[in-house]
Each structure stands twice: as structure tokens, then as C-alpha cells.
Chains A and B, each alone.
Chain A
Amino acid sequence: MWDVALAKEIKKRDNQEYIGVIVGIVVGVNPIKVSIYNGSAIFSGNNLYVCEKVNGYTEVVNMTIDGTTQQATIEHEGVKAGDRVTCIATQDNQKLFVIDKLS
């Protein structure tokens, strides 16, 4: 029926609902799991792209104290369960990029 075909074409042009930028909650670490929309969706494994600093990292710095320079290591801890993180979803809403921890 032509009316059904026309309705289908119009429907195809509906905008998709994008998640976009969203605040997620870390619900697990090792491996990291992030929940959005009050637990309606939990992303982990292949559905999650985690930026380097989210998991914690080690930074080597040179410190000069009283004219003496020494090397020091700073351990930045990664996110913990319950932390809030900034996330951006892919266009198809199927994967999340976890950008950083929110203060």
C-alpha cells in the first residue's frame, strides 16, 4: 500500500535520540564498569573506551629542593566504585568513552 511506504520513508527521517555527553557512575573496577541512567545501562569490556588517566597512572617528575634536583614518582590513583565520570557516547549509543573523573 502506497500510504504505508510513504509513512515508512517519513519515519526513516526521524532524528535518533543520542546519549551525547553524560555523567556515569563507576560500579566496578578491574575491569571497569560504568553505569548510566540510574543503572538502566552498564557498559564494560568492548563497549567501553577508557582514557589513560582514568585507570590511574604513574608520573615521574624532577623536584628541586634547596638547589638539589631529585627524581620523584607520583602515583595518581584510578577511579573507584562510586566515582562520577564524564562520558561521551558513540553516535549509535552502543559504546562509551570515559574521559575523566569528576571532582
Chain B
Amino acid sequence: MWNLYALYQGQWIDILKYCNNLSWSDDADTLAVSLSFDSILDLPEARTHLMLKKDSKTVFAGVIVNKANKDKSSSYTAMDYAFYLNKNDVMIQFNTNAKTAIETLCNKFGIKHNIITLNTAINKFYKDKKISEVIDDILTQCQNETGSIYIKEMQGDTLYIYNLDNLKLDCKYAMSNDFNITRSMEDMVNNVIVVSTEESDSRILENIKDDMNIGIFGQLTEMLTVDKENESQARNTAKNYLNQYNKTKKEMTVTLLDIENCEDIRANRKIYIPIQKYGMDGYYRVKSAQHTLANNNHKIAITVDFS
């Protein structure tokens, strides 16, 4: 049972029966989940908070940020509360670990948070950056050091930072045969050189390459810079970068029909995909997900990264 609640005069009212063309989407490269729909109701933008629920589970919570009035109906776009992370500039300096840095940032703006342990040292000054950009940069530094992929997302009004490996979906779906699989070597890197940011130091701190892949694909070099304080981690940084990019990028798009728990599908979750003939049989990262709900039929178009 699906419900779309709108907060009106302090009360949550179900407006789903007045709405159609309901869809919501999420991409690993975007910050917020966006939900759009048409309705015969005239809802005020910014002041109308929405909550999409399936039974008792909250699927989306956010605020209307855009509306377009037509003759007899209006079109609305709502974003989850991560929208505000991209609308506030910040000037801040950190000399601490990543977890404390993100907590300090969240506390400064009164953002509730739930963050896993991140021990990477952050010594950086951010000037006129969005909150989301600062968090992304911190998580990238963590990823370069540890090799794990960290993701951020808003659930209700709380910012969560997770390790991607722990986010496996438990859902049932019917998969259409309209899948499309693409493979590309455009972003491949098989030779990583690490140098210091120290102006007076032109040494190459580390150089890791994959000779076999260079023989097959040709040499594709990336040069990374690390702070003087992080020189000891240069080898780790190079190794993690090579692990991440020394492969062809493989993506699959497909449409799924919800049987059970597919409302949990969103970007940066791992979903089980069995297409053995193309080498897919395991949990893969969802890069983007677009949900549509019409006549109680819930379909999800997903892009999966199985590099």
C-alpha cells in the first residue's frame, strides 16, 4: 500500500489519489533523491514537505522545490533534505580525522548525522565550498587511502555515511529482457605516478603499473599528488587508485518489476543480478535508479556498475 503524504497545517494528509505520473530517481553522482509528480492540488513550493511511504516504510522524505502550474493541474519536483547540503557555502579548516571533520561540519549547520569510523587524517582548508563538496572531498581522501568506497545519503533529516560493502539489498524482482550492457575503456588507468605537493620536492614518490594491461590496452597514466604529511601513504594511494581504475568500465541498464522490497533500491546499494552469459552473477553497485509508480505498479529502471 503506497501513500504520498503532504504536511498541511501541521498534519500529514495522504494526497496520492490526487496525483499521477509519480516517479523518483537517484544517481550515485547526484546529491539528492528527486521526486516528481502531477497533481490537481495546488501545493505551495518550499513550504510543502512530502513523505512517500510503502506501508510503514518511509521511501522518500523531502520538500517541494519547484512547481509548474498548468490549466487544471500542476507539476511538482521535490528533493530530499540533502538538497540543502548543496545550497550552503562554507569556509572551514580541518586538522583532524575524517569522522570528526564531517561531524564538526554537520554540527556547524545543525545537521543530524550518523557516521561510520573514518580514521583518515584531513588537513585541509575549504573556501567557499558547498557542504556536500566538502564531504565528498573528505570521503574521496578516505577512499584513496583505504580503498573502500564510502557513500553519503540523507534519510529523513539525518546524514548517513556508510561503507558501500555493507549495503546489500534484499529484494525480489522480475527482470525484463530489455537490458543493455556497455563496456568502455575510456576511463581506464594502468599506470599511476604519485608526486608530492611540496613545491621544492620534484621526486616521484611511487609508480605502480600493470604491465600486462599496458601491453593489451596501451599505457594510460594518471599522476596523483599527496601532501608532504601523507607521503608515507603514497604506495597505498597508488595501489588503491590502480585497483579502482585498472579495468574496463562495465554498466548495465535494465527495468525491474517490484515483487518485494524493491522500494529499497537506490543509488549506492548492491543488488543481486544473475545474467551469467555476460559474466554477471553477484551483487553489483546500483549507479542510478528511477522508480515509477502507476496504478500501484512499481517499476524501477536501474543502471548497475559491474566493473
Residues of A participating in the B interface, judged by any CB pair closer than 8 Å: 1, 4-5, 7-8, 17, 19, 37, 40-43, 46-47, 90, 92-94
Contacting residues of chain B (16-44) with chain A, CB-CB under 8 angstroms = 25, 27, 29-30
B125 CB contact (under 8 Å) in A5, A7, A8, A41: A41
B residues at A contact (CB < 8 Å): 25, 27, 29-30, 91-93, 123-125, 127-129, 197, 199, 227-229, 288, 290, 303
In the assembled complex, the CB of A6 is this many whole angstroms from the nearest CB of chain B, namely 11
- Report B-chain residues with C-beta under 8 Å of the C-beta of A42: 93
With A4-B27, A19-B127, A41-B125 known to touch, is A46 a contact of B229 (CB < 8 Å)?
yes
Q: Are A37 and B29 in contact (CB under 8 A)?
A: no
- A50 to B285 CA separation, bound complex (whole angstroms): 48
A-B contact count (CB 8 A): 38
Q: Hey, which chain B residues are within 8 Å of A7, CB to CB?
A: 30
A40 and B228 in contact, given A1-B288, A4-B288, A8-B29 (Cβ under 8 angstroms):
no
Q: For B288, list chain A residues within 8 Å (CB).
A: 1, 4
A90 to B93, CA, bound (A): 15
CB contact under 8 A between A94 and B29, given known A1-B288, A1-B303, A37-B91: no
Partner among B91, B125, B290 whose Cβ is within 8 Å of the Cβ of A94: B125
* With known contacts A37-B91, A40-B92, A40-B93, A93–B30 Cβ distance under 8 A: no
A40→B125 CA distance, assembly (Å): 9
* Distance to closest chain A CB from B235 (angstroms): 20
From residue B293, how far is it (CB to closest CB) to chain A in Å?
A: 19
* A94 touching B197 in the complex, CB below 8 Å, given contacts A4-B27, A4-B288, A19-B127: yes
A94 to B29, CA, bound (A): 26
Shortest Cβ distance from residue A32 to the other chain B in the assembled complex, whole angstroms: 16
Please, how many angstroms separate the alpha-carbon atoms of A4 and B30 in the complex?
Answer: 7
What are the residues of chain B within 8 A of A5 when measuring CB–CB?
A: 29
Q: Judge whether A92 and B197 touch: CB under 8 Å.
A: yes
Cα distance A41–B126 in the bound complex, in angstroms: 9
Q: In the complex, which residues of chain B have a beta carbon less than 8 angstroms from the beta carbon of A8?
A: 29
CB<8 Å pairs between A and B, sample of 20: A1-B288, A1-B290, A4-B27, A4-B29, A4-B288, A8-B29, A17-B127, A17-B128, A17-B129, A19-B127, A40-B92, A40-B93, A41-B125, A41-B127, A43-B125, A47-B123, A90-B199, A92-B197, A94-B124, A94-B125
B128 contact set on A, CB distance < 8 A? 17
Q: Which of B92, B125, B129, B228 contacts A46 (CB 8 A)?
A: B228
Closest to A5 in B: B29
CB proximity of B286 to chain A, nearest CB, Å: 12
List 14 additional A-B contacts (Cβ < 8 Å) besides A8-B29, A19-B127, A94-B197.
A1-B25, A1-B27, A4-B27, A5-B29, A17-B127, A17-B129, A41-B91, A41-B125, A42-B93, A43-B125, A47-B123, A93-B125, A93-B127, A94-B125
